[in-house]
Amino acid sequence: MRIEDYALIGDMQSAALVARDGSIDWLCLPRFDSPACFASLLGSERNGHWWLGPTGRRPAARRRYRPDTLILESEWDTPTGTVRVIDFMPPRDKNPDVVRIVEGVSGTVEMSTVVRVRFDYGRIVPWVRRSDGHLQAVGGPDSVWLHAPVPLRGGDYAHRATFTIKEGQRLPFVFTWHPSHEPMPPQIACEQQLAETEAFWAEWVDRCAYDGPYRDAVTRSLITLKALTYAPTGGIVAAPTTSLPEDLGGVRNWDYRFCWLRDATLTLDALISSGYLEEAADWRAWLLRAIAGRPQDLQIMYGVAGERRLPELRLDWLDGYEDSRPVRIGNEAVKQLQLDVYGEVMNSLFVARERGLSPDDRAWAIQRQLLDYVTEHWDEPDEGLWEVRGPRRHFVHSKVMCWVALDRAVKYVERFGRTGPVEKWRALRDTVHAEICDKGFDATRNTFTQSYGSAELDAALLMLPMVGFLPIDDPRMTGTVAAIEKELMSEGFVLRYPLAEDNDVDGLPGGEGAFLACSFWLVEVMAMQGRKDEAKNLFERLLSLRNDVGLLAEEYDPRYHRLVGNFPQAFSHVPLVHAARALSL
């Protein structure tokens, strides 16, 4: 299956990817970052999957989410009838459940299912036993139960069944995880859980403040972002997958199942602007726990509960998606210095306060500590928002976000009555601004550049007017936008930065696709410039890249006309929401 052939289901603690042919090929339990028990997405079927569909295995004729929910419905037409499979994960009480209801729509259809459970990312073949007609698979700390309405026969380290579904019949399958040392959890009432899950999502979407012309795209993106929120703590993961390649067959394969401060703050901005202040309060509480301590110990990412150690490992027993190796878990970028995150955090908390989030003295105390760090280290080189694995540089975007951190601190004092060395912050804010305009701007070409003294461009420069660094009609911004449109576009989409043999900015071999967030940023900038028709055309081209159920990966590769990178990607859906709002003004 292509990346765009998958749909997402989840319970706001974990998530599964369901292929168009009815196979669940990726599922980590009990958390987003737990070892996968279905990992065929990154290997073969022998690394674990659960297929359910008409005998003969074919793609569904059509599929959709139930309106304003995360409940997936896939339908197959066969010579003897039509069948529907309803996939969802109920918002969790204690144990995670994956529910698959087979519904006969018309006629009679022969169905088949194959279940291969493989714990630890496809490495552990579990011990399986039957109990009262149900299957239990155990391997180390993990145990799962499969409650099936039809007999399952074992063989070749898998379990299979063939059965017939008639019009009007509904047969529920339930897959439940629990710690192996605990007894079997109670079996859920599937139809009741379906109704409650539908009601949960419908009520949540009903709170959405956006009512513009792109409501369907916006609400689908917001549902996706909510699904990437880890409910127990308020943390927000960047994506539910690891190692889906940015370059098919290449090495640009990273684990995104963690909480990047940058991604989370941008996600929060999208939720807040759409009327979801409760998520902002939960995330602020998560943030205060995660970053508590010395400001110099701030990390760019954390685990969903605030874990700080995220060692990067390679899973050599997995072949990788379309032979894209290595498969990685953990992320070595956790050790990087990325100065822009300080600005992202300060801006997000400022926006949340503006929208009505209650004041918090502890939050301001920690923000003061972060500002002390920015004051002392803003002039250092860093790895930047793209997490380059090449040498550190004075990235212009990083410096601008340091300016944002200082600017929002000043505004906190001015608007909310907070105390702090505001004159010092104002003076440093002006110093940072002046240095960026001096060292980060190429007057000959009339454009800001990726880093001090470099000739390369960077799509992140599109964010300068969005954060208020310069007015949109400043000639320097006009020149920068024009240069990006001229030099960083590929088949009408925006690349992050130029990749060439003589440019070692990211320290990695191979190429990549167009980073979708960058193109959405261009939409927003075009709208700010008054180029509404151009902005609308680009936005609708971007919407056409979504898969059939409205999801986006990290990138689109014009070479193969395919989505690439981890999926679905928060960093793609967030700017979609902002761009839609910009076009609706």
Tell me the CATH number at 526: 1.50.10.10
Task: Report whether 39 contacts 48 (CB < 8 A).
Answer: yes
User: Binning pLDDT at 50, 70 and 90, where does residue 585 land?
Assistant: confident
Final residue belonging to a domain, choices 147, 169, 202: 202
What pLDDT shows up at residue 576?
Answer: 97
Q: Which pTM value belongs to this model?
A: 0.95
* Shared-domain flag, residues 78 and 151: yes
Q: Find the CATH number of the domain harbouring 28.
A: 2.70.98.10
Task: Kindly provide the b/e burial profile for residues 396-421, where b requires at least 16 CB atoms within 10 angstroms of the residue's own CB.
Answer: bbbbbbbbbbbbbbbbbbeeeebebe
Does residue 170 sit in the same domain as residue 277?
no
458 and 351, same structural domain?
yes
Displacement of CA 114 from its chain's centroid (Å): 29
Distance CA 172, CA 553 (A): 30
pLDDT digits (tens, 9 = 90+) for 215-270: 999 999 999 999 999 999 999 999 999 999 999 999 999 999 999 988 888 888 89
Domain end: 148, 175, 202, which one?
202
Q: Span 170-198, mean pLDDT?
A: 97
- Mark out the alpha helices in 252-339 (DSSP H runs): 261-273, 277-290
Task: Give the pLDDT band (50/70/90) at residue 38.
Answer: very high
Q: Measured between alpha carbons, how far is 429 from 400 in angstroms, rounded to an integer?
A: 10
* Phi-psi map region of 530: left, alpha, beta (phi>0 left; psi -120 to 50 alpha): left
Residue 269 is predicted with a pLDDT of: 86
Half-sphere exposure of 153 (CA within 13 A, CB side): 5
Give the residue among 448, 532, 460, 528 at the shortest CA–CA distance from 495: 460
> Which range among 378-392, 475-489, 537-551 shows the weakest confidence by mean pLDDT?
378-392
Band of residue 389 on the pLDDT scale cut at 50, 70, 90:
confident
Q: Are residues 273 and 169 in the same domain?
A: no
Same domain, 172 and 250: no
pLDDT of residue 133: 81
Instruction: Kindly indicate the confidence band of residue 390, based on its pLDDT and cuts at 50, 70 and 90.
Output: confident
Same domain for 530 and 398: yes
* Among the listed residues 29, 21, 78, 72, the one whose alpha carbon sits nearest the alpha carbon of residue 50: 21
- Supply the pLDDT for residue 503: 52
Query: Residue 156 belongs to what domain range?
Result: 3-202
413-450 per-position pLDDT tens digit: 999 999 999 999 999 999 999 999 999 999 999 999 99
Task: Report whether the peptide linkage leading into residue 421 is cis, meaning its omega lies within 30 degrees of zero.
Answer: no
pLDDT of residue 261: 87
- Shared domain check, 139 and 195: yes
What pLDDT, on the 0 to 100 scale, is given for residue 288?
84
Are residues 480 and 552 located together in one domain of the fold? yes
Does one domain contain both 354 and 447?
yes
Domain stops at, among 169, 202, 235: 202
pLDDT band at 500 (very low <50, low <70, confident <90, very high): low
Q: Is the confidence at residue 280, as pLDDT, over 60?
A: yes
| Segment 117-165, tens digit of pLDDT | 999 999 999 999 998 889 999 999 999 999 999 999 999 999 999 999 9
Say how many C-beta atoms besides its own lie within 10 A of residue 214's C-beta.
Answer: 20
Three-state secondary structure call for residue 538: helix
DSSP state of 370: H
pLDDT of residue 241: 98
The whole-chain average pLDDT of the chain stands at 94
Confidence of residue 504 (pLDDT cuts 50, 70, 90): low
- 5 is written with which tokens? 């052939």
Under 8 Å between Cβ of 554 and 565: yes
What is the model's pLDDT at position 533? 97
Kindly tell me if the per-residue pLDDT of 509 is higher than 80: no
- What is the structure's pLDDT at 480? 98
477 and 532 share one domain: yes
Say if residue 61 is in the same domain as residue 118: yes
Q: Does 269 lie in the same domain as 167?
A: no
Query: How many domains would you assign to the chain?
Result: 2
CA distance 411 to 421: 12
In this predicted structure, the answer to whether residue 312 has a pLDDT above a threshold of 60 is yes
Residue 507, pLDDT score = 61
